[in-house]
Amino acid sequence: MTGWSTADIPPLNGKTAVITGATGGLGYETALALAGAGATVVLTGRNETKGRRALEEIRNKFPGARIAYEDLDLAKLASVADFAARFAATHDSLDLLINNAGVMALPKRQETADGFEMQLGTNYLGHYALTAHLLPLLRRGNQPRVVNLSSLAHRSGTIDFDDLQGAKSYNPFKAYCQSKLAMLMFALELQRRSNAAGWGLLSNAAHPGYALTDLIANGPGSRGLLGRLGKILQPFASQSAAEGALPTLFAATSPQAEPGGYYGPNWFYELKGPPVPAKIMRQARDAAVAARLWDVSAALTGVSFDRVAVAA
């Protein structure tokens, strides 16, 4: 696996991929690489103008790319359901779902359209619902995979069932860490459930290390003393969005990527470098907490994997 790059992506002709948050940053770089390898790629996002621009840029690099853009707002469960319905109306199957979109450490507590804390709702609950809606198509896919984007921040995360939505006490980074821990736990639990129910999925996760994206540039850490320190360290400890997308691409395409695997950069503290197996913290491996989170998520979103699987 040492030195793995986009040159190692196998041919993806005939594969169909959906990527959330694909109009910029990690999602765009992921879409670009998959399109270049021959996959049919559906980029999703909240901004149609940015979506059209992303399509144009990818077509400039790969004129024959099979790509499309669709509106999808993970902070609105109705938007998630609408996208899934539109996709199902035009596609018989789905081979690859990359749950990439996210928001980071919002200074003030905000809520989604459904009343969820914004980071939990966008980063995790929206992806939970999307994956459930798309399960029938994934089950009909060719060696289907689901890749969840987690973060080094999962190491500091806990699932606070007593205040899951941060309504009692909101802390920007605590909420972000919880959402990214939830994404990793979701990936591991999805693999367990797939194994038990025979869904046929390969579910894994990845993180980009310290990748320079708009999430970092526009986040609260970009200001003040922390922001100045970050700019000093960036040349040594960070990598580009294209490099940060490599763990995701490895998880999504490599024959070496394992069910329930987690991948990140190989350098100090997994900050940068080519993809290797990443450290999974003990709390992320807690199957009892993951099962409870799964049930709570089903209740909150009103979407049940079990009902969808039976319907499929």
Task: Show me where the domains of the chain are located.
Answer: 6-307
Phi first, then psi: what are they for 4, rounded to 5°? -60, 135
State the pLDDT at residue 215.
Answer: 57
State the pLDDT at residue 238.
Answer: 64
Instruction: Find out if CATH 3.10.580.10 is the number for domain 6-307.
Output: no
Residue in the structure block whose two tokens are 């194994």? 195
Chain centroid to Cα 66, Å, comes to 21
Phi first, then psi: what are they for 41, rounded to 5°? -120, 130
Residue in the structure block whose two tokens are 């700019």? 231
Distance CA 250, CA 243 (A): 11
State the pLDDT at residue 78.
Answer: 98
User: How many Cβ atoms sit within 10 Å of the Cβ of residue 104?
Assistant: 23
Element (H, E) at 33: helix 25-36
Q: Which of 63, 66, 1, 4 is nearest to 31 (CA)?
A: 66
Cβ-contact 22, 14 below 8 angstroms: no
Each residue's pLDDT expressed in tens, for the chain with a length of 312 residues: 569 999 999 999 999 999 999 999 999 999 999 999 999 999 999 999 999 999 999 999 999 999 999 999 999 999 999 999 999 999 999 999 999 999 999 999 999 999 999 999 999 999 999 999 999 999 999 999 999 999 999 999 999 999 999 999 999 999 999 999 999 999 999 999 999 999 999 999 999 999 886 654 444 544 444 444 445 555 556 689 999 999 999 999 999 999 999 999 998 889 999 999 999 999 999 999 999 999 999 999 999 998 776 565
Catalytic residue numbers read: 176
Residue 190 token pair: 């999805």
In three-state secondary structure terms, 76 is: coil
State the pLDDT at residue 212.
Answer: 80
In three-state secondary structure terms, 105 is: coil
State the pLDDT at residue 277.
Answer: 98
State the pLDDT at residue 279.
Answer: 98
